Amino acid sequence: MEWTKGMKCWIISFINQKGGCGKSTLCMSIASAISRRHRPDGVQYKVLVASADPQGTVLRWSSAAPDDKPLPFPVINLNASGDKVHRELKKFVDNYDFILVDTPASVSTIPYSALLVSDLALMPLIPSPPDLWSSFETKPVIDNVREINEDLQVRLVINRCQSNLNVSKEILNIVDKLDMPVCHSKVSMLTAFGEAAGAGTSIYDCKYETRRAAVLQIEDLVDEVFEILGVEKEEVVNER
């Protein structure tokens, strides 16, 4: 069925001033999951990924895709948009169902700008005390944005979880201090995520041993994201 403009274009930004916590990885994996799903009218969701990180990780990921198997969504370069990311993003809202924005590991005006037009901020967190403490500076950015974008929702996403998803009490205490709701779905440390990036593919198309676990966890996370945003769920869901 041909795509026509849906009810709304949801914008999700991946933020955290802590480097290497999984912003780009979760951005690309969630984009792959959503672009395989369908709207209630049967039309496949149209997804756009926007790179607002001058490092250009998601652009390089997309460029690494084999010619005969490009990623199922475009990745655009907003790396030079600085504090005008929100203005650029608005130009695409009539042509997509979802825009996912990858932001840099800094407390700069870039994440702030992306959050101005976002419906949801997802903040990946590696469950180790040093990682958690260095995530604290991101909170004021969110608080500032909320003075303008009152409807912005925020969720922490525990990423690179080890030991069967057990998160220690110490970690949970620190997470509590961050004073932000945490997604129930957690993402484990799985080789499929790193391998997919290197091969320019998605976790759905990679052949690694941990593929299935990665897909299951991302599908759960997307279910939760849809619930948070109030996106109607399709009748036929992706493979599990």
For Mg ion, the closer CB: 35 or 57:
57
For the chain, give the number of residues: 240
Q: From its phi and psi, is residue 73 left (phi > 0), alpha (psi between -120 and 50) or beta?
A: beta
- Residue closest to Mg ion, measured at CB: 24
Among 38, 43, 54, 55, binds ligand ATP (CB under 6 A): 55
**Minimal distance in Å, beta carbon 17 to ligand ATP?**
8
Total residues at the site for ligand ATP (CB under 6 A)?
19
For Mg ion, the closer CB: 105 or 231:
105
Among 69, 87, 194, 227, binds ligand ATP (CB under 6 A): 194
**Per-residue contact track with ligand ATP, 143 to 182, x per CB under 6 A?**
----------------xx----------------------
Q: Which residue has the tokens 């407390």?
A: 107
Alpha-helical segments (H) within the chain: 23-35, 57-63, 85-90, 109-116, 129-133, 138-146, 169-178, 191-199, 211-229
In the sheet where 153-158 sits, what is the strand order?
75-77, 47-51, 98-102, 10-14, 120-125, 153-158
From Mg ion, ligand ATP, none, interface partner of 216 (C-beta below 5 to 8 A by class): none
For ligand ATP, the closer CB: 175 or 192:
192
The vertex-170 CA angle with 166 and 175, nearest 5°, equals 85
Dihedral sign, Cα of residue 185, residue 193, residue 15, residue 101: negative
The tokens describing 65, both together, are 């895709």
Choose among 43, 234, 230: nearest CA to 120: 230
Sole window of 14-22, 72-80, 89-97, 109-117 interacting with ligand ATP (rule: CB under 6 A): 14-22
Among 10, 22, 157, 218, binds ligand ATP (CB under 6 A): 22
Asked if residue 190 binds ligand ATP (CB under 6 A), the reply is yes
Residues that bind ligand ATP (CB under 6 A): 19-25, 53, 55, 57, 105, 159-160, 187, 189-190, 193-194, 197
